[in-house]
Structure 1
Amino acid sequence: MEIKDIAGSDIKPLLEYIEEQSSKDNADLYCYEFKHIVETAASHPTLSIEEYKKMLITSAKSGWSQTHRRISLVDKICDYISKGSLPMVQHKRKSLPSEYTSLISTLRKRLASTTLSPRTIENYVDAVWSFCAYLSEHNVQSLKNVTEQLVVAYFNGSDGKTRGRTISRRIRNAILKCLDLWEEGIGDRVVAMLPDCPSGTTIYPGLSKDESAVVEKILISDDASVSYRSKAICSLAFYAGLRESDISSLTCNNVNFKKKVIHIKQQKTGMELTIPLDVICSNLIVNYVRLERPPSQSPYIFIRKKTKGRLARQDMYEASLDVLSVAGVHANKGERKGLHLFRHHMATSLIETGANPAIVSAMLGHRDPSSALRYLNSDLELLKRCSLSISEFA
């Protein structure tokens, strides 16, 4: 698609949607980017969208985070024009009936006493708030008046946005945690109406043996085209299975080089975790600190070069791209990237060698010991080994 195709489109409905659901400031950001596309198309009509995004990167005068935001807006505008897809937005919190307000307040307090992270708690609150706001818009002021038709319409996207298994699970768990707010049977009745969506697990396009071997070669090599910071970050996901949030929050207090262990309190679950420190990870961290890390009083091991602050999510993603691009692995558009690719490899490698999934879950820091089974369920080669031959029944 060329930018002239975007420039000649009508995005007024998109802007109205953004302003209604989010804010005028957010809609103005879309409007600004669209105007910039129109101006660029006037002088470069044959420029493709991908070329336009590269131009934004090369001509950027601000930091990467702002440039990334602009590229994200371009992608969302393109998706709206080509597919009619409306972007996910952080909804305005409109006033709700007292019953729903009480539900959300109680839910937040009860989840705060659990080991869930603040981010996860907000995900639950947002799911319940959106559901309650939808009910309120359809003149349903209490759960006792909810109909199955209305619930089905909500999940089927009658408001332009379909919901799946995750949203259904969050709403179900939230109501079950607050059943005492209603007369007996009311909460259970609504829970029974929620769709039991099938698991969204698919065949995960992880690293093959050849691909993982190439990645490992990059991590242990002295190739200067990949920074020690990127290699150290990726090695912690590849060999230790750490999440990106835990890697970015690592401090010297978390890493014991003498005992060769890493001890952290996980950002996602709040659980404490102690895992072995691989010698490759150890060497890469030391090389980064000695040779690349800018002088800083920041407690975090991995920091930004300019601001010297803690790495953001995009920085972690960029680290994975550094390694994958040089390795020539998952380099094509549409192929899965990111640090979870390395974490997934670590899990499947252990299961493949016969490790107990419960032990693998413990090493990965899962709250549920059965969580590692998803890595078996999403790996085609492992599934093949579990299959039965029909020749026995012929």
Structure 2
Amino acid sequence: MIPQIMDALRNLGLTERNIWKNHHDLYLSIRKFYRIHGVTQYSPEIMAEYTCMIEKKFKDGNITRNRYRTLLKAADRMSEFYTTGKLQWACRFRGSKFKLNEYFEELLELFLSTTSYHANTKGDVTWAVRKYLAFLETMGHSNLANISITDVQAFLIYCSRHLKGGSLSNVRGYLKSFHSYLQKTGQLLLDCEKILSQPIVRETKIFPYITCDEISTILNQIDRSTNIGKRDFAIITLAMYTGLRAVDIVNLKLGDIDWKTGEIHVIQQKTQQTLTLPLTHDVGDAIKDYIICSRPNSKSEYVFLRTNAPYQKLSNGVSIANIFNDYQRKAGIIRKPFDGKGFHSIRRAVGRNMAVAEIPVTTISQVLGHGNIESAKQYISLDSIHLKECALDFHGIEVGNGVLPE
């Protein structure tokens, strides 16, 4: 099966040098393990033993973290090829640190099977409920038989010590859905509606926007004579003129651009709503330059692709955020953790600039594809020019001894 996997890697666009340097020895390690056990055909049981062996070597300090990850990734791909007959270039799922017993694990899977959350939200729900069930286990519960309100309350108090208001509110909401499911299915008669309906104050932060000068400095760092430079320039220019989220830029398809009408049509991942935006001259030129001159020869339907084989779309919005961060460093823009100056700050800048231009909040909300008009009101807080007009002066208020009268 290893020769077939090598062919599959070639079909993904990897060069012979890349395969020999970065992949060949990984599969030789697997083949050696199989031979030691006297097995010549793929076996899920043997592969599980191999994975355990690799994990033990890493824990004992016999292999590096990078070697550990690449060996596991090779094992995953071999299992995937055995099951599906093909390879998908994807990152290995690392799993959760919250390990559950068999009963709680099955309970979680049954609950998730009844939900219709978006993939991103489903991941958050899974994390929250898994964290809750793991907490119950630490409290001595192996099932739901003796769960009490006190246990639920203790978990919320525990979470409040390390989660901020917004995250705590989300966890409470996910637990409410989980307990509602338990009651409807008759698995738990305990009524937690009251405690899980208590409002939690969310901290409202006004994150900064990136300035026009900063954007200009960043764009000047891009070498547009290179393939990667043309791609990155097109990505940042697209965000600068449209305010599109990183994940929607990643998922932008060739067919989403209507060159005849000069429009971009996308289905937003966050809201699942269709958004139509004008294809401005600058954006159109940047994208055309990339597609015609620098985009890899690929059958992929997505606009922005990796510059190295396999030539497929960027993995997610984090990829674009990392690209943007690299150019910020080159531009000498100093970042601090949670400073709000990442790629999403371009979207805030677009909203803020529209607010300064006195464009109605309803229009701002439509352009940025908000599901709720309230989301657009944050940009008013960034409009310092017009906010100054709302400030009151001290005319008519006498100041005595440096203290304002009450």
Superposition TM-score tier, normalisation by shorter sequence: 0.5 to 0.7
- 1:78-98 deviation digits (Å, cap 9, x = unpaired): xxxxxxxxxx98324413766
Show the counterpart of 1:153.
157
Show the counterpart of 2:333.
330
For structure 2, the residue ranges without an aligned partner over 5 or more in a row are 1-51, 74-93, 398-406
Q: Is the 8 A contact 2:156 2:172 kept in 1?
A: no
CA distance in 2, matches of 1:348, 1:164: 26
CA distance in 2, matches of 1:102, 1:203: 39
| 1:320 equivalenced with 2:321 (yes/no) | no
- 1:298-323 deviation digits (Å, cap 9, x = unpaired): 21111112211211345412432354
Letter in 2 for 1:302: F
Show the counterpart of 2:239.
237
Any residues of structure 2 matched to 1:11-50 within 5 Å, and which? none
CA distance in 1, matches of 2:121, 2:280: 30
CA-CA distance at 1:230 after TM superposition: 0.6
Of 295, 310, 313 in structure 1, the residue corresponding to residue 313 of structure 2 is 310
CA distance in 1, matches of 2:110, 2:348: 36
- 1:12-56 deviation digits (Å, cap 9, x = unpaired): xxxxxxxxxxx99789768869979xxxxxxxxxxxxxxxxxxx9
CA-CA distance at 1:263 after TM superposition: 0.9
RMSD: 4.1
Letter in 2 for 1:306: N
- 1:65-108 deviation digits (Å, cap 9, x = unpaired): x9xxxxxxxxxxxxxxxxxxxxx98324413766x965763455
Of 354, 357, 366 in structure 1, the residue corresponding to residue 358 of structure 2 is 354
The percentage of aligned residue pairs carrying the same residue is: 21
Show the counterpart of 1:206.
209
CA-CA distance at 1:168 after TM superposition: 2.5
Of 162-171 and 275-284, more deviation after overlay is shown by: 162-171
Show the counterpart of 2:303.
301
| 1:255 equivalenced with 2:260 (yes/no) | no
CA-CA distance at 1:149 after TM superposition: 5.2
Any residues of structure 2 matched to 1:143-222 within 5 Å, and which? 145-147=148-150, 150-157=154-161, 162-177=162-177, 179=180, 181-182=182-183, 186-192=191-197, 196-199=200-203, 201-212=204-215, 214=217, 218=220
CA-CA distance at 1:176 after TM superposition: 4.3
CA-CA distance at 1:275 after TM superposition: 1.5
Q: Find the residue that maps to 2:192 and give its secondary structure.
A: helix
CA distance in 1, matches of 2:248, 2:111: 29
Q: Is the 8 A contact 2:209 2:341 kept in 1?
A: no
CA distance in 2, matches of 1:104, 1:206: 41
Question: Structure 2 length as normaliser, TM-score?
Answer: 0.63
Q: Is the 8 A contact 2:223 2:229 kept in 1?
A: no
Letter in 2 for 1:385: K
- 1:249-288 deviation digits (Å, cap 9, x = unpaired): 2111111111111111222332222122222111101001
Show the counterpart of 1:124.
125
Show the counterpart of 1:385.
388
CA-CA distance at 1:232 after TM superposition: 0.5
Q: Find the residue that maps to 1:275 and give its secondary structure.
A: strand
For structure 1, the residue ranges without an aligned partner over 5 or more in a row are 1-22, 37-55, 67-87
Corresponding pairs, count: 311
CA distance in 2, matches of 1:294, 1:119: 29
CA distance in 1, matches of 2:196, 2:350: 37
Q: Find the residue that maps to 1:163 and give its secondary structure.
A: coil
Letter in 2 for 1:190: I
CA-CA distance at 1:348 after TM superposition: 1.3
Q: Is the 8 A contact 2:300 2:312 kept in 1?
A: yes
| Rg comparison, structure with higher value | 2
Show the counterpart of 1:91.
97
Show the counterpart of 2:19.
none
